[in-house]
Amino acid sequence: MKNIYLIVLAIIFSGCSSNDEFLDKEPEVNSNIEITRVEDLDKLFNSFGMPTIDNQVGYWCTDNSSMPQSILDESSTFRQDQINQYLFQTQIDRDSDRTWSSFYNYILRANLVSDYINSGELIDSDNPDLKDILIAESHFYRAYLYFEMAIIYNLYPSEANANELGMVLRKTSSLTENQSRATLQETFDFILEELEAALKYPSDTKRSIYRINKATINALAARIHLYLGNYEKAMEHANAALAGNSQMINYATEVYELGFTFWYGDFVYPNVAQQAPFGGTSIADFYVDKYYYINYTNGSWNTSPSQELLDLYDEDDIRNLFYIEGWFSRYGATTDTWYYYMNSYVGYNPAGPGVPEMYLTRAESKARNNDIAGAMADVEMVRSNRFHPEDYVALPIPGSAKEAVEIIIDERRREDPFEYRFMDIKRLNNDPLTDPIILTRSANGESVSIQPDDRKYARPIGDEILILSDGATEQNRY
Amino acid sequence: MRSFIFLFCATVFAFSSNNVISQNVKVIIHENKEVSIDEVFDIIMDQTDITFIYKAGMFKDFPKVNLKKGSIRINNLLSQSLTLGDFNFNVKNENTIVIRKNSIPLSAQEFVVSGTIVDKNGIPIAGLSVYTTKNPTADNSNIIRGTTTDFDGKYNLSVSVGDFIVVTGIGYETRQTLVQDNKNIYDFILNDSINELDEVIVSTGYQTIPKERATGLFNTVPTREISNTVTQNIGSVLQGIAPGIQIVEDADGNIDISDVVIRGRGTIVSSSTPLVVVDGFPIDGGFDTINPNDIESVTILKDAAAASIWGARASNGVIVIVTKKGNRKGLNVEFNSFIKVRSKVNLDRNVTRASTATTLALESTIWDGPNSQGLNNFFIANYPPPSTLFDRDAVNRSGNTSYSLGARAYFDAFQGNITRAELATKINYLSGINSFDDVERYLLTNPISKQSNIAISSKGEKSNIRLSAVYNDNTNAFIGDENDQVLVNLTTQYNFNNWLSANINGMLDNSKSQNRGISLRTIQGMSPYENLINSDGSYASQRHNLYDAKYMEYFANTITNLPYNNINYNVLRDARENTFRTKNINYRINGGLNIKLMDGLELKPGLIYERFQSSSNNFWGPESSFVKYQVLNSTTQDDYDPVNATIGNSNIPPGAIFRDTQTERIGLTYRTTLNYSGSWDKHAVIAFAGYERASFKTNRSAEPYTYGFDPETYTYTVPLNRDSGTPLWAGFFDTGILNDGRFFDKSELRFASYFGNLAYTYDNKYTVSGSTRSDGANYIVEDKKQRYNPMWSVGFSWNAKNESFLQDVDAIRSLKFRVTNGENGNIVGTQSTTATIGLSSTPNPFTGVFSANLNSLGNPDLRWERVRTFNVGTDFNIFDSTLYGSVDVYNKKSFDLIATIDLPSTLGVSRGTFNVGEMVNKGVELNLSSNIKFSDNFNFITNVVYSHNNSEVTSLKDIQIFPRTIPDFPYIEGRPYQPIYAFEYGGLRTIDSQPEPYPTIVGQNGTIYGMDENIGQNGEDGREVLKYMGTRVAPTILGWNNTFTYKGFTLSTRFVGKFGHKFTRPTYDYSGLMQDGNHHEDLDILLAGGHEALGLPPFPQEFEQWQYRWSWYVPYLDSVVEDAAHIRLRQIYLGYDLPSDVTTKLGISKFRLFASAENLGNVWTANDYNIDPEYINGVVRAPEATFSLGVNVQF
């Protein structure tokens, strides 16, 4: 009986041994893990791949698009939210704002990377530069994404608009961070700060095709400074970007008609229509002139150009191939089957800064600095790659800076019709040199005319974001 | 010395028939002890005003009596003490009893009789009192001469003609019979006593306590219901038997434990599965590893006091199962066997598709005229037959150009590819086909289930053992759908000495199942005029829902290097080619020690180890469509040569494809409890405390797909992965990158718990109880300080019957009131508290880098869910068991429920997981029985189980709900779980957008919407537009169970009614996909213009542009919401037990033949369409009526 009490005591005391230790065991071992290494964050950036962001504003709120009434009558291809954007309405019929949510999702992941590195708790990488690379890269994403969002949701950042509403500046990954909107001044100050920090990126090589290098950041800087009217800086960064990559794609040899009817009916397709964005390198393989790969999508297969845009092209321009004739017959249109703009996969557009954009940015900066011949040389760098040699004729040298800038803007429209036209309209409407751009359009019996200073150039934020923020995030005031 | 044991609970027994002593006077035994008869009298005289007069020393040679702590009625005490002797009793005055030794010698008229006493299962009962008594009406003196049965249930007794032989014992009804001339053998079969409401032992799984002293609610399933049900699954007994439990049984009789809900669902994303406790430990595997033949008792714990001791896992209720033990001396064998048969699946009842004639009538209109659907409808892509591979797009528009046989014929005629005469021939041929003929012939089987069970048990001086083995063998409704199971259970107990005993139990389950991928859905997906086999014996070409058969045919005929002769689609061939097998090997061992430290104090360490291994093998035969289409599609478009009509080499070789997956679950729980039980004066205490550690590991893995497998030679081919190029037919068995299929996953959940429980009873009347428990886990809570989840309960019960003012009220046999309150936690799934990423296992083939996806941002503030249950109840038995049962009212409030809610996407995520939800389940439960004894031979027990539960989601962060999605929301604030929202049909009205009257919807916000609109595009919330119509879950469940016993016959019936809920009747959906040959049977009525009777819009005879939008609304119209109330006749059971004199001669102790009919359908449904709301036609396969026949033998 004596021994039994020892056993009993042992049993009882074994229950008092450290349960904390027992419970510290990780509950799961699978591919779902906590972030513990700097390398994990590197992989997190790899997972960005080629981001795809729904951007109805970029597609519809410019003079490059149109919604022919006969197609509206005969088909339902244009969604209500697209019509709302087209008409610059301030109430958009949509269940959620996918533009806002996609941008902020990438911002969250960039913030997560900087939060984890700043926590100092991660296991270091063998690569001593990796932390600096990741930090600079996260600054790049914030600069890029906030800038692109500010174009969509904010007014032009003129002095007069300094105290207008800017973006909600999420700087950390915390779910409890303030969701009220900064002023426009604060927003652009932040974008420029982030840009400066990103420019410290230590390497000229990309960690993979979809990642960034110094040239990428310079290309972004050129775009941002062009928007802000800092033409000298824009040129400086465009030069730096071109120093990193100035490879142009020669459409005369690279772009041609497909020899067979492709996926979506009896249409004539350019070979670029095969560039699917799903995980493949095909877009990157083809568009080697991009500093950064990001897609804008309109969510539908209905990117419909305006007659004004179609008229901008010379009939020999190879880029005409990107306009698929008769496309809207797919949707039941019979009166006017119209055109469809297809640059890669249906509904998608590679929208990151590229070499042609840098040439045209530099051209514009030169033109505004009265280096008209230099400007036109840059324009011809683009044009000479857009015609078959037998069709190519250089443009005459214009007589004035204004004329030169107008030619450059037209070339920008031809080259990247749905990527930064909305940005260009907003900046040009604040530019004393060029003529104001007044957009007029009508659909389903409603006609609108958008003046250069129209507050509707700051497009509305999705209602659900305002509601779910419990009032913290405000709508634009119209 | 042989002494017999008194339990503190004993039978109700009038000491003599004229109630010398009131039945209900009790004495309290303060501790377990062994006393002499003299001491028994002392105890009675101490505690009552009864005086005994007898000669000193009269009982000195009598065996001592073992008394257990607790209370005992004195008539029981006396009868058990004195029945061994031969006494003359004389009541002198009210309370004085004179006891004399019977001086009358054994007279000549007396003779010795003998007999065997068995329980209703034929098992001999030891230790029963058997005595004779004279006709009690003669005078108030009486003679008692008694004995007890031995371990074989046998007795000998001297009697005279005219005496009564009375048999009485613990837990059995008293039986008596008149001694007759010339009859020497008197056998008895004793029924379980159901009159002992206040003397039942209840089990919380951890401990057993007298129900009299329990504060919690214990619903015990009557053992007769278990033994009178023919089933392989114990879960099927519980429906309609235990109040407040919802169980779903599928057509093959399977019950998924995670679908079992007790007292309403009280959680949003977490599990609502009740905890199943077998012999003291929670087990894995639901009911599947429990042999129904092994079950001694089932108790359902629902309120805080009963369940809280199980802590975090108890908030969904606890089902406590105690298995049979070897408790009979010698070798005992029990054999059970039954066979169940049912008819083939009733296709007319289960498949809701339009007839051949109706389908063809519809299809004849598709391309008929300029306004026809075919020429205008975007959903019927109007492409001519393919002429190159690249025209595949024309034949795959999400299946829009995949035509049924009928639609194809009309389309070909419209295109001019066949003549009108050819069309007529084809249609004529099709119109003579009913696909059910081939389905019935080739795909269905006659289901049959068999069970054989054998149990061997034995009891020795120090040990007992029971071993059972059951074999279940089932053939299910579809060809090749079979499963079987061998389940072996062992329970042993060994008493080393008077302070140490041990028990070890083991379970081994070896089961396997296979099917061939056929289900009701397969048949539902067939056109009504499809054959499976052509008249020449070949496999018929059937419509595939993506690629048109005509294209397949064209492709097969054109391409010259195709590896297959035939690439048409046929479900029968697929079924014959494919086999999907699952094998389970599960075992469980639990054991424990019972160390008696001192009187009343026991230490009980124990552990349970479980290992469940399941492996699945999916095998697709070389001729299956799965294999063929993958093989063909693993070549690329780039390699297609239209000139020579060749395709490139397939990366996947022809031959079978198979893949294995494994799951292993290992559970280990270690627990020690210290139990105390004691009483002194009027105080009684039961207490225990303990701690527990548990870990549950799960390992899952899958092997890579094996391609090109040859089952004859066991050879296979590793395919080359294609790294670029578009597959031949994009979007169709897309093999853009070959799926390797491998995955690995491991989890280990750990829990550590401390718990304690104390119940104090004063004077057998008032009990207060309290319990507390703290559970910690290695997940859920990030902050270690918050890791433990405190849970508690308090309870109070008042045993009113033991009050002096009720003690002598014989109409009330027992009466008790209970109230409990407490808080439990709920186990939650692993929710991450920090950001987690998923690492890619291979570098991206295109970028060459590894990536990590952000899987979850995590929420560091996550904590346990909590459930607070308040319960008030009463247990009673009045008018001598004419009415007995319990009534309970409860309020179960669940809060801190984890829910995934919408977040402003500014945060970077649009959904997040937080402890934000609250739900309330309020209800009342009645369990009422009546035992009516028509005669000694004829007994009737009727039992009504009623439960009513109102659930409400009381808090869930409100979100904008898009109107069309609201029917899919199971949780909406302010509504019960599973609300039904419906669009109110407004009939045809003139609206602005349409020239003719148009189908409309009346919004609850007052707006009239046309069905041509996308309701919600203007930001309306679903709750403004749709009408709330009730809930899908029955608030009221009524079970009615009757058991008649007449001589050896037992007849039992079970009805279950459900009331107060709604269901949505499936109907024709107007989707505009008219070419797929698959329409709801309501089309028959619609084409005949009967839409108004159905409450639906008229069938559009011509192309209607917005018809596809009608299909957004029609399935959710208020006119298709029906009352789901129904009453089901679940079973009729008939058993016949051979009389014991026959069985004795046969050398067996019991022989029962039984027959049963189950799934007899509804005796009443509230809806007018004769739809069974639990097995909605075309949605859930209904069980066919089942007939069983079986035998139970014990020896």
Task: Give tens-digit pLDDT for B270-301.
Answer: 888 899 999 888 888 889 899 999 998 898 98
Q: What is the pLDDT of residue B718?
A: 82
What's the CA dihedral at A290, A291, A292, A296 to 10 degrees? -40
Provide, rounded to the nearest whole percent, the portion of chain A with pLDDT above 70: 93
Q: What is the mean pLDDT of residues A302-308?
A: 96
| Residue B5 confidence class, pLDDT cut points 50, 70, 90 | very low
| Residue B1114 confidence class, pLDDT cut points 50, 70, 90 | very high
Lowest-confidence region among A3-17, A265-279, B767-781: A3-17
Residue B323, number of CB atoms within 10 A of its CB: 19
From edge to edge, which strands make up the β-sheet containing A295-297?
A52-54, A295-297, A348-350
| Residue B945 confidence class, pLDDT cut points 50, 70, 90 | very high
Residue B596, number of CB atoms within 10 A of its CB: 17
| Residue B7 confidence class, pLDDT cut points 50, 70, 90 | very low
Q: What is the mean pLDDT of residues B536-547?
A: 90
Rounded Cα distance between B85 and B78, Å, is 11
| Residue B432 confidence class, pLDDT cut points 50, 70, 90 | very high
Q: Which of residues 189-218 of A touch B (CB under 8 A)?
A: 207-210
Q: What is the Cα B289 distance to its own chain's centre?
A: 13
Q: What is the pLDDT of residue B330?
A: 78
Rounded Cα distance between B1138 and B1147, Å, is 12
Residues of chain A in contact with residue B693, where contact means CB-CB under 8 angstroms, are 19, 22
Q: What is the pLDDT of residue B194?
A: 46
Which pairs count as long-range contacts for B967-973, CB under 8 Å and 24+ apart, including other chains?
B967/B1026, B967/B1064, B967/B1116, B969/B1022, B971/B268, B971/B899, B971/B917, B971/B919, B972/B1023
Indicate the pTM of the whole model.
Answer: 0.77
Among B907, B957, B1013, the residue to mutate for chain A (most A Cβ within 10 A):
B907
Q: What is the pLDDT of residue B382?
A: 65
| Cα–Cα distance list, B791 to B311, B437, B824 (Å) | 7, 60, 5
Please determine, for residue B1189, whether its predicted confidence score (pLDDT) is greater than 70: yes
CA distance B751 to chain A (A): 7
Contact present, B214 and B200 (Cβ < 8 Å) = no
Q: What is the mean pLDDT of residues B400-412?
A: 87
CA distance A387 to chain B (A): 28
Q: What type of residue sits at position B165?
A: I
Nearest CB neighbour to A101, from listed B848, B851, B905:
B905
CB pair distance less than 8 Å for A280 and B724? yes
| Residue B915 confidence class, pLDDT cut points 50, 70, 90 | confident
- What backbone torsions phi and psi does residue B25 show, to the nearest 5 degrees? -75, 130
Provide the H-helix boundaries in B1050-1158: 1082-1087, 1091-1094, 1107-1113, 1140-1146
Lowest-confidence region among B304-318, B602-616, B942-956: B304-318
Q: What is the mean pLDDT of residues B145-173?
A: 76
Burial state string for B652-684 with b = 16 or more CB within 10 A and e = fewer than 16: bbbbbbbbbbebbbbbebbbbbbbebbbeeeeb
Please determine, for residue B106, whether its predicted confidence score (pLDDT) is greater than 70: no
Task: List CB contacts of B21: < 8 A, sequence separation 6 or more.
Answer: B15, B50, B74, B75, B78, B97
Q: Is A264 on the interface with B (CB under 8 A)?
A: yes
Question: Residue B896: which region, alpha, beta or left (left: phi > 0; alpha: psi -120 to 50)?
Answer: left
Q: What type of residue sits at position A67?
A: M
Among B375, B828, B847, B1105, the residue to mutate for chain A (most A Cβ within 10 A):
B847
Residue B841, number of CB atoms within 10 A of its CB: 11
Q: Between vectors from CA B97 to CA B93 and to CA B102, what angle results, nearest 5°?
A: 125
CB pair distance less than 8 Å for A175 and B693? no
Q: Is A80 on the interface with B (CB under 8 A)?
A: yes
CB pair distance less than 8 Å for A22 and B752? yes
Strands (E) located in A208-336: 295-297, 323-325
Q: Is A90 on the interface with B (CB under 8 A)?
A: no
Query: Under DSSP, is residue B72 helix (H, G, I), strand (E, B) or coil?
Result: strand
Please determine, for residue B197, whether its predicted confidence score (pLDDT) is greater than 80: no
Residues of chain A in contact with residue B784, where contact means CB-CB under 8 angstroms, are 20
Residues of chain B in contact with residue A46, where contact means CB-CB under 8 angstroms, are 844, 847, 849-852
Nearest Cα residue to B909 out of B917, B896, B900: B900
pLDDT in tens, A238-265: 999 999 999 999 999 999 998 776 655 6
| Residue B522 confidence class, pLDDT cut points 50, 70, 90 | very high
| Residue B766 confidence class, pLDDT cut points 50, 70, 90 | very high
CA atoms within 13 A on the CB side of B706: 18
Give the count of Cβ contacts less than 8 A between chain A and B: 205
Q: What is the mean pLDDT of residues A293-314?
A: 94
| Residue B459 confidence class, pLDDT cut points 50, 70, 90 | confident
Q: What is the pLDDT of residue B929?
A: 92
Please determine, for residue B61, whether its predicted confidence score (pLDDT) is greater than 80: no
CA distance B826 to chain A (A): 17
DSSP collapsed to 3 states, B563-617: CCCCCCECHHHHHHHCEEEEEEEEEEEEEEEEEEEECCEEEEEEEEEEEEEEEEE
Instruction: Retrieve residue B910's tokens.
Output: 């649009």
CA distance B909 to chain A (A): 6
Please determine, for residue B95, whether its predicted confidence score (pLDDT) is greater than 80: no
CB pair distance less than 8 Å for A179 and B1017? no
Residues of chain A in contact with residue B909, where contact means CB-CB under 8 angstroms, are 105, 108
Lowest-confidence region among A110-119, B91-100, B185-194, B709-718: B91-100
Of A265-279, B146-160, B509-523, where does the model show the most confidence? B509-523
Contact present, B972 and B958 (Cβ < 8 Å) = no
Nearest Cα residue to B707 out of B622, B637, B625, B629: B622
Among A23, A113, A180, the residue to mutate for chain B (most B Cβ within 10 A):
A23
Beta strands A295-297 and A52-54: pairing type? parallel
Q: What is the pLDDT of residue B962?
A: 85
Contact present, A41 and A134 (Cβ < 8 Å) = yes
B-chain residue closest to A470, CA distance:
B904
Token look-up 């101490």 returns: B46
Of B46-55, B723-732, B969-978, where does the model show the most confidence? B969-978
CB pair distance less than 8 Å for A179 and B904? yes
Q: What is the mean pLDDT of residues B1173-1187?
A: 92
- Biggest CA–CA distance in chain B, Å, is 122
